Amino acid sequence: MKKIISLLLIFTFGLSSCEKDDICDASTPTTPRLVITFYKDAEPTVKENVINLKVTGEGESKGIVFNKSITDEDNPLRYVTNSNTISIPLRIDRNTTTYDFVYNSQSTNPATRNSDRITFYYTRENVYVSRACGFKTVFDLDPLKPNDLIDPAGDGFWIKQIFTDIKHIESENETHIKIFL
């Protein structure tokens, strides 16, 4: 009888030491990316697909991965999109992020490729999500100024206008920046 009571006591104490698993649910919102939608300049309500767009961060060579199904990191198609909406990350370690937006990046004719550089300025705030997920960063964009868009290659601007549509970036469910081509 003493053995059974001892076994029950050990089992009870063993169960009481278990803790809830600290696993961050995949559906929990994390640090949002900047959502950019491209529009026709002549028809501002019509979305425009960008041909072979490659977006490269400052000091990077490969670019943002748009085609995750391509696992070969040396395949240039992994880093291009032909979409009218993209999502790109903002840096969480500083208040600016600079990207080169290369239009028609896969063209073999250098005269048809065009690169514009945009610097995004913002403030950031770390927000507690949960013990399992930790913190996420939310951003407040500063209004874009004319000198935030430059032509690094001297090949003319392919981006005509940029507007901040939603200043506070807390989710990826809406367009934050509108770019007119």
Please give the Cα distance from 63 to 40 (Å, whole number). Answer: 24
3-state helix, strand, coil in the chain (%, to 5): 15, 35, 50
Strands 53-57 and 96-103: antiparallel
Is 83 a member of any domain? yes
Is 12 a member of any domain? no
Is 15 a member of any domain? no
Is 2 a member of any domain? no
What number is the average pLDDT over the span 68-95?
96
Is 105 a member of any domain? yes
* pLDDT for residue 3: 59
Residues spanned by the domain of 116: 34-180
What number is the average pLDDT over the span 5-13?
56
* pLDDT for residue 41: 94
**Per-residue pLDDT for 40 more than 70?**
yes
Domain count, the chain: 1
Is 22 a member of any domain? no
Q: Give the CA count within 13 Å in the CB-facing half-sphere of 71.
A: 0
**Per-residue pLDDT for 28 more than 90?**
no
* pLDDT for residue 180: 96
Is 27 a member of any domain? no
Residue 20's pLDDT band (boundaries 50, 70, 90)? low
* pLDDT for residue 179: 96
